[in-house]
Amino acid sequence: MITDRTDRTDRTDRTDPAAIARRIVQRRDQLGLSEGMLAYRANMAPAYLRQLLRTGPEFDPPAFVRLATALGTTWPQLLTGRNPDAPPGQPDAAASRPLLLHLTEPQCWELLGTHGVGRIGLPVGPAPVVLPVNYAVDARTVVYRTAPHGAAAPAEGSPASFQVDRIDDHRSLGWSVLILGEAHHIDDPAEQQRLSTLPGATPWAGGSRPLWVRIRPAEVTGRRIGTG
């Protein structure tokens, strides 16, 4: 039911001239532009700008594209009010009656799946470093490949954390899984060859990344934000 209601809201916002005009004015004010300055940037008369805001994008679609460019944004963003490149955790509205649910360890591994992208946290001085890596799951451990002297290359046996999450900004829903344990190098060529056949084992970053790292968990915890 939440999805259906959200879809209807999206369709309404995309065709409601008042909602689009409101986003244009908000963005204009955010940039400190007057009506005349915005019209000048978009190569149109102020009177024509006011007419566009009253009539909506169907009246002159190219003019709205010029407005988006003048405002330093994109037409899809003005249309929906959402920035696809924004960091997660910036919802339009909070979920109805949000609940914080603790996940069991089997549920955590189920959410991690067989592979994906997570964040490795390592105790690199003067402060910890957290980096994205694509990973594979192997027998209740997490493995990934990196460059031997790269930022994501831990010392043998060093403490490490590994975190994966999925966020639905629009509905303020999501989950997060955190693994605390130790990082170990995988030096056996036969084991490296076996791991290379796992889904997600090839590093997205490319280049030479021969060092295999295995995170052996000491603790696996997870949380989910849901609705009641």
Other C-beta atoms closer than 10 Å to the C-beta of 108 total 21
Across 52-66, 93-107, 209-223, the highest mean pLDDT is recorded for 209-223
State how far the Cα of 131 lies from the Cα of 102, in Å rounded to an integer: 25
Could you say which of 80, 115, 138 is where a domain stops?
A: 80
CATH of the domain at 51: 1.10.260.40
Residue 131 lies in a domain: yes
Q: In the chain, which ranges are E strands?
A: 98-103, 115-122, 129-138, 141-146, 159-168, 173-186, 211-227
Residue 19 lies in a domain: yes
CATH of the domain at 129: 2.30.110.10
pLDDT at 96: 52
Residue 191 lies in a domain: yes
Residue 93 lies in a domain: no
Tens of pLDDT, residue by residue over 174-227, are: 899 999 999 999 999 999 999 999 988 888 877 889 999 999 999 999 999 876
**For the chain, how are helix, strand and coil distributed in percent, rounded to 5?**
35, 30, 35
Backbone angles phi, psi at 167, to 5 degrees: -125, 135
Q: Which amino acid is at 72?
A: G
Quick one: 111 and 195 in the same domain?
A: yes
Other C-beta atoms closer than 10 Å to the C-beta of 103 total 18
Quick one: 31 and 105 in the same domain?
A: no
User: What range does the domain containing 197 cover?
Assistant: 98-227
Q: Percent of the chain scored above 70 by pLDDT?
A: 84
Could you say which of 33, 51, 80 is where a domain stops?
A: 80
Query: With bands split at pLDDT 50, 70 and 90, how would you rate the model's confidence at 84?
Result: low
Quick one: 62 and 119 in the same domain?
A: no
Please give the model's pTM, rounded to 2 decimal places.
Answer: 0.60
Q: Name the residue with higher pLDDT: 73 or 8.
A: 73
Residue 43 lies in a domain: yes
Q: Name the residue with higher pLDDT: 12 or 85.
A: 85
Quick one: 128 and 215 in the same domain?
A: yes
Quick one: 107 and 30 in the same domain?
A: no
Number of domains the chain contains: 2
Could you say which of 80, 112, 134 is where a domain stops?
A: 80
Give SS3 for 210.
Answer: coil
Q: Which amino acid is at 201?
A: A
